[in-house]
A and B are shown apart, each in its own frame.
Chain A
Amino acid sequence: MSTKIITPVAEFAELLPQEYKDLVARGPHGGRRSVRDLGTFKEIVDEHPHCAGCGVALAVRLLAAALPSPADTLIVGTPGCSFFSLVQTALNYSNTAFGNQNAVAAGLKRMLAIRFPQVHKDVVVVAGDGGIADIGLDMTLHSWFRREKITTVMLDNEVYANTGGQESGMSRLGRVLNMAPRGKLFPKIPVFELAKVSGCVYGARVTVAGPYRLGRVVRNAVLLARELGPTYVQVYAPCPTNMKFPPDQTLKAAKEAEKDHYSFEEFMSTEAAEYLARLKTAPEEREEAPEPAKP
């Protein structure tokens, strides 16, 4: 999409809502924006009705800021809490039957590749742990087996948050949750490990406590999916509402998880490593600054 498309003619400019005008004047579509620039530009997601302290809302905000070319990015989601903010972004966002996201994304990406052979139309799946690891696991894996050129981002709050705190396959062993009255009887589904052996050319496991890192891996994942094949980012996005901790403790919960079962991990194919190395030599792609000091 060229920014011309959203630029109003002079006669209409004043009639448009402020947020539209902001998006045109200071939106992310022109120059390169990143997580580091948050606060200096009009984001494609701003207001949202998520609960206070929602890890998913934070993850959505960060990943939206990290998209390498939001003007040509299509997000495919599925029912779950991420819907609340994604449906309000200034992007095309699809959300239909629960769990179908990677199949929808595959069909969409193939059609866009036919229609726009000269443009990278980035198709990014953004969905919850239940959507990706349980009800949609076959479609997640098959999109990877088939080497579909899409990025899959799991916003893992380790629970079915949207439906009221039920056990998901990504919930931790022993956790007492709705529908797991005696605690979960099996460990987290190793989706990250599956990604390595199922065809993903790049994968990263991060938490919302590291915004720069999250931004960097999302950007890598989207760029690599264009050229090489499927990529996967798994984000820990804790849920104060269902995990029953105070909403100002979300980052703390994420930090703690980083020391425990959610340590940072990244894998990539040889071709992916070469591609990223080539990118880094370009001046605008220098290594990100260190994370901001802890609050």
Chain B
Amino acid sequence: MDPEYLFSEAPRRQVFITGSEAVAEAVKRANVDIAIAYPITPQSESMHLVGDLYDQGYLKDYYRGENEFAVMAAVHGASLGGGRVFTATSGPGTLRAMEMFPVWAGSRQPVVCAFMCRGVSLPPSIQPENIEMAMLLDVGMLMFHAEDAQDFLDMILKAYAVAEQPDVHLPVGVFADGFFVTHTRSAVLLPPDDLKLAAYDPRRAPVPTFDMETPPIRLVRDPLLNKSNFISYAANASWHQEIAAAAERARKHIRRYMGGLLEVEDPAAVVFLAASGTAVSQSREAIKVLRAEGIRVGLIKIMSIRPFPVREIEAVTAHADLIVVPEFNIGGWLAREIKAAIDNNRRVVGGPRVFGGMTMPTELIVNEVRNALSRPGTRQPGMRAGI
């Protein structure tokens, strides 16, 4: 079946479900061969539900692994074997498994992993926070950030479609802020129950499948790893470059399936809130408050963190005076990314930032915008575009 039919054309029915349930609804339609799980809050519930799907025959294999590093390694092995895999984790689990993510990318495997982001110790916190995303920015996988349960469902399904393109064939992490998305109910539009993605086809992979069905005659003579010469460095470097190039080639597929790497509301505004994940929802609320006060603010919702929509952000903000970036982490990785993408980055204000389980009340964002507008020399937007 054409994945686009499943994604956008098939009639959908509205249900009122949690983000964890939305994950399971995605996996149910993703034709996954093997899922491997390890418990951690707030991820666990979704992988329980995936276990139920296995029990009902939607998956061919499923088990609880011994730790996240082992799970990500087992998922790697399963993917090497030429099938479709799924797993998920959160915060400390992400960090425990860290060494495997560049391995997935380096071996060009279209693993899809959901990350239900949470705090990492110390001090300990199981609460929503997406600092782990900062640590994954350069592991080589594609990264999508879901705003809500609907996004989480759609992005997981679409992640497979993007990941498995022969000219991409890279892992995709689909991120959502834990609890806010996983543990709250919202209206979600579900594609029909009887539709699913076509099975993974290993013959479309740009690298040989690890099944002894492709002539496995001596891959190398003299392992490059142990040579100290230019040729070996150049071979290594060109492989890295090819992974980066594959991520670049993903852009067109992301545009096709997700409608773009970002979404913009009120593009003519001169003040923007730019955010990803739950911070987008909070920004929507803040924008209503600001508008009521006579301050016109546009919204940039960034859906693809890797590849990062550099050109799109440049274009949208070309005429902007102020870009405020609220985030659920202490590091401010999204503000850094945006600052690195655009000209005159004094226009970017990184904040507000909440972490450790703190919520992001609308007033926090509203105040950040007001304070930024009161900086000397900042043009006041009013309700009209200041082009």
Contact = CB atoms under 8 A, between A and B. Distances in A.
Interface of A is mostly: helix
A138 B36 CA distance: 17
Contact of B70 (A49, A112, A114, A138): A138
Contacts of B225: 83
B348 interface: no
B221 to A, nearest CB: 6
B226 A6 contact: no
Contacts of A138: 66-67, 70
Interface string A111-125: 110111000010000
A19 B220 CA distance: 13
Contact of B73 (A20, A88, A97): A97
B223 interface: yes
Contacts, number: 142
Interface string A128-152: 0000000000110010001000000
A72 B81 CA distance: 12
Contacts of A243: none
Contacts of A100: 69-70, 73, 76, 99-100
Given A1-B212, A88-B220, A121-B212, A108 B73 contact: no
B61 A114 contact: yes
Contact of A111 (B33, B216, B220, B223): B33
Contacts of A121: 211-212
Given A107-B78, A111-B82, A92 B212 contact: yes
Given A103-B65, A114-B33, A97 B81 contact: no
Interface residues of A, number: 44
B215 A6 contact: yes
Interface string B73-91: 1111111111101000000
A97 B213 CA distance: 24
Interface in A142-172: 142, 146
Interface string B173-210: 00000000000000000000000000000000000101
Interface in A161-211: none
Contacts of B36: 107
A52 B223 CA distance: 17
A97 B103 CA distance: 8
B99 A108 contact: no
A87 B223 CA distance: 7
A94 B77 contact: yes
Contact of B80 (A20, A87, A108): A108
Given A88-B223, A104-B73, A106-B74, A142 B66 contact: yes
Contacts of A115: 81-83, 211
24 contacts: A5-B213, A19-B217, A20-B217, A73-B212, A74-B210, A91-B212, A91-B216, A92-B208, A97-B69, A97-B73, A97-B103, A103-B65, A104-B77, A106-B74, A108-B78, A111-B34, A111-B80, A112-B211, A114-B83, A115-B211, A121-B211, A138-B67, A142-B66, A142-B70
Interface of B: 33-34, 36, 60-61, 63, 65-67, 69-71, 73-83, 85, 99-100, 103, 107, 208, 210-223, 225-226
